[in-house]
Amino acid sequence: MNPATLKKQTILMDQTACSIKGVTDTLRVQIQILSADIKACEKSKAEFQRHLTKLETRREELQNRIKANEEWSATYDIEVGPFANRYNEMTGEIGKIYDKAKQGHAKGIVLLEKEFGYHPSFKHPGDTFTAIPFRPI
pLDDT in tens, 37-81: 999 999 999 999 999 999 999 999 999 999 999 988 888 778 777
Q: What is the mean pLDDT of the chain?
A: 85
Contact 82, 91 (CB under 8 A): no
Whether residue 127 contacts residue 118, with contact meaning beta carbons closer than 8 Å, is answered with yes
Residue 134 has a pLDDT of 63
118 has pLDDT over 80: no
Which of 126, 130, 97 is closest to 112 using CA atoms?
130
pLDDT of residue 129: 63
**CA distance readout (Å), 55 to 50, 52, 99:** 9, 5, 58
d(CA 66, CA 71): 9
Q: Is the dihedral of CA 49, 51, 54, 58 positive or negative?
A: negative
User: Rounded mean pLDDT of 114-128?
Assistant: 70
Residue 137: the pLDDT is 65
In the chain, where the domains are located: 3-79, 96-137
What gap in Å lies between CA 24 and CA 16, rounded to an integer? 12
Residue 111 has pLDDT above 90, yes or no: no
Residue 121: per-residue pLDDT: 67
pLDDT band of 82, cuts 50, 70, 90: confident
Which of these, 28, 27, 31, lies nearest to 39 by C-alpha position?
31
Across 9-25, average pLDDT: 88
Angle, alpha carbons 86-92-96 (nearest 5°)? 140
10 Å CB burial of residue 119 (0-12, 13-18, 19+) is: middle
* pLDDT given for residue 136 in this prediction: 65
